[in-house]
């Protein structure tokens, strides 16, 4: 059993419009909805890979009810979300059919009370007893302290459960102090954390700040992994055209599944890159194309990487 934590779950709404023009009125031609938030997306990919996954975090209101209904329909996925008095946020992705670009509008999320945050920490500690790995993913809703992830990382480490952290901004800066086993920043998050736009240097800096392993996702540049067992760079076979939404979450699912299956690092990275690429290629945002995934696995290139000075 793998546990994913999504403190700021979301109902992800996608609108397709012929062309988005600021200031104009648009008739939406297609509406789709699905449960979201990074940890929920990671869980969906893990479940599709055949893993048993428990989803926890906060949910509330009618949006939360809709999210839970959709979530329990996914085989292999257990809902351990904690109800809060606020309402789960929506995110709206507006896809411009002419240009193919997506404009994203994210609500901030429900205000979480100190009592709700306290209750979550207790539930989380209980859930850790039965799991082989945990991923802490995404933004924090209002009311949850900015140092939340550092505490959750420490609780996992005390329970001897390997813990992966995937967040940004201050929650990342503060969370890394808890010494997560794996940190998965993208290039932008790495630069914001370390001040360096040079990926290898920034990844090394992130490791020095407390993460045992840092796997940086560099978009078309693939993954750069600095681990206690060695350093690797894994790259997809070619530049991919498609929708990058959810590609980072598929990377996390690849790393976690490889961890619990005790795959060697190069195999974990191959899986993570292939899953991420197959997500970009999928016609549905956030899903991965299974045929592309199987085909890409044999074409990902993993090379040992020397440390920088």
DSSP H/E element including 214: strand 213-217
d(CA 153, CA 179): 7
| Shortest CB 245 distance to its own copies, Å | 10
Residue from 22, 75, 228, 283 binding its own copies (CB under 8 A): 22
- Pick out residues in 68-107 that bind its own copies (CB under 8 A): 90, 92, 94, 96, 99, 101-107
d(CA 139, CA 261): 28
Q: Looking at 249, 267, 287, 289, which residue is catalytic?
A: 249
Residue with smaller CB distance to its own copies, 214 or 285 = 285
DSSP H/E element including 145: none
Determine if 21 is a binding residue for its own copies (CB under 8 A).
Answer: yes
Determine if 66 is a binding residue for its own copies (CB under 8 A).
Answer: yes
Whether 95 and 14 have beta carbons less than 8 Å apart is answered as: yes
Q: What is the DSSP string of 125-137?
A: HHHHTT-SEEEEE
Structure tokens at 104: 């994203």
Determine if 253 is a binding residue for its own copies (CB under 8 A).
Answer: no
Residue with smaller CB distance to its own copies, 28 or 177 = 28
Neighbours of 149 (CB within 10 A): 29
Diameter over CA atoms, the chain: 55
| Shortest CB 83 distance to its own copies, Å | 16
| Shortest CB 228 distance to its own copies, Å | 34
Whether 181 is a known active-site residue: answer no
Phi-psi region of 100 (alpha: psi -120 to 50; beta: other; left: phi over 0): left
Determine if 65 is a binding residue for its own copies (CB under 8 A).
Answer: yes
| Shortest CB 178 distance to its own copies, Å | 25
Binding site for its own copies (CB under 8 A): 13, 15, 17, 20-29, 31, 62, 65-66, 90, 92, 94, 96, 99, 101-108
């Amino acid at each position: 059993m793998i546990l994913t934590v999504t403190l700021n779950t979301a109902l992800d709404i996608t609108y397709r419009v012929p062309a988005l023009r600021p200031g104009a009125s648009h008739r939406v031609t297609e509406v789709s909805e699905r449960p979201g938030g990074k940890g929920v997306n990671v869980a969906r990919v893990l479940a599709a890979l055949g893993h048993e996954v428990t989803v926890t975090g906060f949910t509330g209101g009618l949006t939360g009810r809709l999210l839970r209904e959709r979530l329990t329909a996914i085989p292999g996925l257990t809902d351990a979300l904690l109800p809060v008095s606020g309402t789960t946020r929506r995110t709206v992705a507006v896809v411009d059919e002419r240009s193919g670009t997506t404009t994203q509008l994210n609500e901030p999320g429900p205000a979480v009370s100190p009592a709700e945050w306290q209750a979550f920490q207790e539930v989380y500690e209980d859930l850790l007893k039965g799991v082989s790995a945990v991923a802490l993913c995404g933004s924090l809703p209002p009311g949850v302290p900015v140092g939340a992830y550092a505490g959750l990382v420490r609780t996992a480490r005390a329970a001897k459960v390997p813990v992966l952290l995937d967040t940004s901004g201050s929650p990342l800066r503060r969370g890394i102090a808890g010494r997560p086993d794996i940190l998965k920043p993208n290039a932008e998050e790495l630069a914001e954390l370390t001040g360096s736009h040079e990926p290898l240097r920034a990844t090394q800096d992130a490791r020095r700040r407390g993460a045992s392993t840092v796997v940086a996702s560099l978009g078309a540049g693939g993954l750069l992994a600095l681990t206690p067992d060695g350093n690797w760079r894994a790259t997809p076979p070619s530049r991919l055209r498609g929708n990058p939404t959810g590609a980072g979450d598929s990377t996390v699912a690849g790393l976690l599944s490889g961890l619990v299956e005790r795959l060697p690092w190069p195999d974990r990275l191959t899986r993570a890159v292939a899953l991420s690429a197959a997500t970009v290629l999928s016609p549905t945002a956030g899903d991965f194309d299974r045929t592309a995934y199987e085909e890409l696995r044999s074409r990902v290139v993993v090379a040992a990487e020397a440390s920088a000075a």
